[in-house]
């Protein structure tokens, strides 16, 4: 009997497991699968050793590109000039970024996670256009849900696009417009916080604005993002820190333009002279609460000192000489209407600050005859309230001039239009600092101020002392950041 073997027939099934045999063409004479695997591993190891310098070079290039990109993003956000900070170490860029992110208000992760979960469950639809207004991360069924005993919002953001009527003829947004937005944000978050406890309703009234820096100018068409956060509360007052970012809607670039600290007291809606208690806030650490208490005591002492040095405004002489105090001194008279007032029929602090900035800008422009912008505002003290129907007189005069800046004292006096028995009184006072710019927004030298009389000399020396003190603080802050 002959046995015929069919080479193309399928092989019989095998029991158990067996390693696959490689094709005959892949094995040389005397080679085994194990020897072939060892050879491939050695070849891969040699390839990695050869490619390691190239991969390291690519990794360093990626790190350097990312750091350069991070520097180009963080410098405008912190209000620094790229030309002055062109050479920065890698550690400096990272530390600057960490400081900036640490100053950002905390994000409500609970609300964000709920939104993200809801977004995954809902079908994708066309997003509605962005609304320009006030957005506050609060819990509840909707933005207007205000249940009794609700928790206060940790932060608030007010967004608004800058229009032509917000800026000067050069397209730069008025400092008064920014100050008004800052005060509105502080008033909203302060009022909401003070009404979180059950009891009599109240409204947060502005009593003081700490020194406000104008880091970079804002222009027409940019969107202002005003973020407010309550950082300290005492028994009858609260501190609100506000930051302003400007966004270019065409490029998406953002920059920080302003930082300010405001103090409010809650006034009862039934009796404006009744100061309500402020609900306390929780601090991240005991040191944070102690630092806030020190700021509270310092501003309290500064307000008392300001009240003791209230002076009358001297009228300028006839036909004053150019570059004298009397030549640039300016006044503005404004009748307080309903649109200027709060629910108490008293003037909004932001309206008053806007008027003060307008007068200070006129004084600076008359002295320089160039484009001028607000550089900073020293502490603004609100001594007394201004009621609806009052006539407000805002007066500005130069007190000190350096090579590149001008200090202008602005005083606000109010008087009743109908009730003359009340008399005229000092309502607000502050010092504004302006700089002169050319057509490319570069600083220009300021003409020197001609002093006439002992009173002007005294004001000049006091202004010089404030200038040197602020300059030393800026240098110390700059060294600390570097």
Mind listing the pLDDT tens digit for each residue in 396-454? 999 999 999 999 999 999 998 877 777 889 999 999 999 998 888 888 999 999 999 89
Tokens of 344: 């108490």
Instruction: Round to whole Å and give the CA distance between 294 and 261.
Output: 14
Of 227, 261, 293, the one marking the end of a domain is 293
Q: Is residue 107 part of a domain?
A: no
Q: Is 16 left (phi over 0), alpha (psi -120 to 50) or beta?
A: left
Instruction: Round to whole Å and give the CA distance between 125 and 449.
Output: 63
Which of the residues are catalytic?
Answer: 168, 357
Cα diameter, the chain: 142
Question: Same structural domain for residues 231 and 370?
Answer: no
- Secondary structure (H, E, C), 62-125: HHHHHHHHHHHHHHHHCCCCCCCCCCCCHHHHHHHHHHHHHHCCCCCHHHHHHHHHHHHHCCCC
**The pLDDT value given to residue 447:** 94
Of the CA atoms within 13 Å of residue 367, those in its CB half-sphere come to 36
Question: Same structural domain for residues 259 and 342?
Answer: no
Question: Same structural domain for residues 442 and 371?
Answer: yes
Given a contact cutoff of 8 angstroms between Cβ atoms, the answer to whether 155 and 227 are in contact is yes
Given a contact cutoff of 8 angstroms between Cβ atoms, the answer to whether 216 and 259 are in contact is no
Question: Same structural domain for residues 208 and 277?
Answer: yes
Domain carrying residue 423: 311-482
Given a contact cutoff of 8 angstroms between Cβ atoms, the answer to whether 226 and 246 are in contact is no
Q: Is residue 439 part of a domain?
A: yes
In percent, how much of the chain has pLDDT > 90?
42
**The pLDDT value given to residue 309:** 61
Of 264, 293, 322, the one marking the end of a domain is 293
Q: Is residue 340 part of a domain?
A: yes
Cα–Cα distances (Å) from 414 to 4, 311, 334, 427, in that order, read: 122, 14, 10, 6
What mean pLDDT do residues 182-204 have? 90
Find the length of the chain. Answer: 482
Q: Is residue 92 part of a domain?
A: no
Question: Same structural domain for residues 264 and 375?
Answer: no
Instruction: Round to whole Å and give the CA distance between 396 and 313.
Output: 9
Of 293, 320, 344, the one marking the end of a domain is 293
Distance of alpha carbon 30 from the chain centroid: 76
For the chain, the domain total comes to: 2
CATH number reported for the structural domain that contains residue 390 in this entry = 3.10.129.10
Q: pLDDT tens, 340-385? A: 998 788 999 999 999 999 999 999 999 999 989 999 998 899 999 9
Question: Same structural domain for residues 332 and 272?
Answer: no
Question: Same structural domain for residues 456 and 330?
Answer: yes
Q: Is residue 70 part of a domain?
A: no
Question: Please, which residues have CB within 8 angstroms of residue 436's CB and are 6 or more apart in sequence?
Answer: 364, 368, 370, 371, 372, 404, 406, 443, 444, 445, 446
Question: Same structural domain for residues 227 and 273?
Answer: yes
What mean pLDDT do residues 140-161 have? 58
**The pLDDT value given to residue 124:** 44
Q: Is residue 352 part of a domain?
A: yes
Question: Same structural domain for residues 249 and 322?
Answer: no
What mean pLDDT do residues 50-68 have? 81
Q: Which of 36-45, 104-113, 229-238 has the lowest mean pLDDT?
A: 104-113
Tokens of 386: 């201004």
The pTM assigned to this predicted structure is: 0.66
Q: Is residue 13 part of a domain?
A: no
Q: Tell me if residue 348 falls in helix, strand or coil.
A: coil
Q: Is residue 16 part of a domain?
A: no
Given a contact cutoff of 8 angstroms between Cβ atoms, the answer to whether 363 and 307 are in contact is no
Residue 306 has pLDDT above 90, yes or no: no
Question: Same structural domain for residues 287 and 317?
Answer: no
**The pLDDT value given to residue 82:** 64
């Amino acid at each position: 009997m002959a046995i015929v073997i069919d080479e193309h027939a399928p092989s019989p099934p095998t029991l158990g497991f067996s390693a696959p045999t490689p094709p005959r063409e892949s094995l040389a004479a005397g080679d085994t699968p194990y020897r072939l695997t060892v050879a491939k591993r050695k070849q891969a190891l040699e390839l990695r050793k050869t490619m390691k310098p190239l991969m390291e070079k690519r990794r360093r290039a990626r790190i350097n590109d990312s750091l350069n990109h991070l520097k180009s993003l963080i410098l405008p956000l912190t209000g620094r000039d790229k030309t002055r900070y062109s050479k920065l170490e890698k550690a400096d860029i990272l530390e600057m970024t960490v400081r900036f992110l640490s100053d950002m208000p905390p994000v409500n992760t609970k609300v964000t996670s709920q939104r993200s979960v809801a977004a995954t469950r809902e079908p994708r639809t066309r997003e509605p256009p962005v609304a320009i207004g006030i957005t506050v991360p609060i819990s509840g069924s909707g933005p207007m849900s205000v249940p009794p005993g609700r928790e206060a919002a940790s932060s608030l953001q007010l967004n608004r696009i800058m229009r032509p009527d917000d800026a000067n003829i050069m397209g730069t947004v008025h400092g008064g417009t920014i100050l008004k937005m800052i005060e509105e944000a502080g008033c909203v978050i302060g009022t909401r916080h003070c009404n979180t406890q059950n009891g009599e309703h109240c409204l947060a009234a502005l009593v003081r604005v700490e020194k406000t820096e104008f880091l970079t100018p804002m222009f027409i068409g940019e969107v202002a993002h005003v973020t407010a956060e309550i950082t300290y509360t005492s028994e009858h007052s609260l501190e609100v820190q506000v930051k302003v970012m400007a966004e270019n809607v065409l490029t998406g670039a953002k920059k920080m333009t302003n930082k300010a600290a405001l103090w409010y007291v809650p006034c009862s809606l039934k009796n404006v002279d009744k100061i309500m208690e402020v609900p306390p806030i929780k601090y991240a650490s005991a040191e944070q609460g102690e630092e806030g208490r020190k700021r509270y005591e310092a501003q309290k002492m500064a307000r008392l000192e300001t009240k003791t040095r209230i002076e009358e405004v001297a009228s300028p002489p006839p036909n004053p000489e150019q570059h004298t105090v009397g030549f640039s001194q300016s006044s503005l008279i404004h009748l307080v209407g309903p649109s200027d007032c709060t629910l108490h029929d008293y003037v909004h602090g932001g309206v008053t600050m806007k008027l003060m900035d307008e007068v200070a800008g006129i004084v600076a422009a008359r002295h320089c005859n160039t484009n001028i912008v607000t550089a900073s505002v020293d502490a603004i003290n609100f001594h007394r309230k201004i009621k609806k129907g009052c006539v407000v007189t805002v007066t500005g005069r130069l007190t000190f001039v350096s090579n590149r800046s001008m200090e202008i004292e602005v005083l606000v006096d109010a008087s009743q239009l109908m009730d003359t028995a009340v008399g005229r009184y000092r309502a607000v006072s502050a010092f504004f600092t302006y700089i002169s710019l050319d057509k490319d927004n570069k600083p220009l030298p300021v003409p020197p101020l001609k002093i006439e009389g002992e009173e002007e000399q005294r004001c000049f020396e006091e202004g010089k002392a404030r200038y040197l003190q602020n300059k030393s603080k800026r240098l110390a802050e700059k060294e600390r950041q570097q």
